[in-house]
Amino acid sequence: LSALGNVISALTDAAASHVPYRDSKLTRLLQDSLGGNSKTVMIANVGPAVYNFEETLSTLRYASRAKFIKNKPKINEDPKDAMLREFQAEIARLKAEL
């Protein structure tokens, strides 16, 4: 989980030029979800028990850093489909001119 923390720190730090996704299998799997092309929901599970205080505090710190990650989701579209749609629109426009 420390590798995940390093990735989150790099994603929230504007000065970071490198995001260490390759440091673990987990971060490599989550690469598209963390700062990538998707909408992501992260849930932090904490408990009120005193004996879990340190773990709860650590989880809340993690969640506090994670909330500043900005993803840029976009529609994944095959370029051929986009070109086909443009051609169909052009055909319709040319037919309308006739």
Residue 21's closest CA among 46, 3, 48?
Answer: 3
User: In which domain, by residue range, is 66 found?
Assistant: 2-97
The confidence score (pLDDT) of residue 36 equals: 80
The confidence score (pLDDT) of residue 92 equals: 96
Provide the 3-class DSSP secondary structure of residue 90: helix
pLDDT averaged over 10-residue windows placed end to end, the chain, 98 residues: 88 87 92 84 91 93 89 82 93 94
Number of domains in the chain: 1
CATH code of residue 85: 1.20.58.1980
**pTM value > 0.75:** no
CA triple 36-66-6, angle to 5 deg:
80
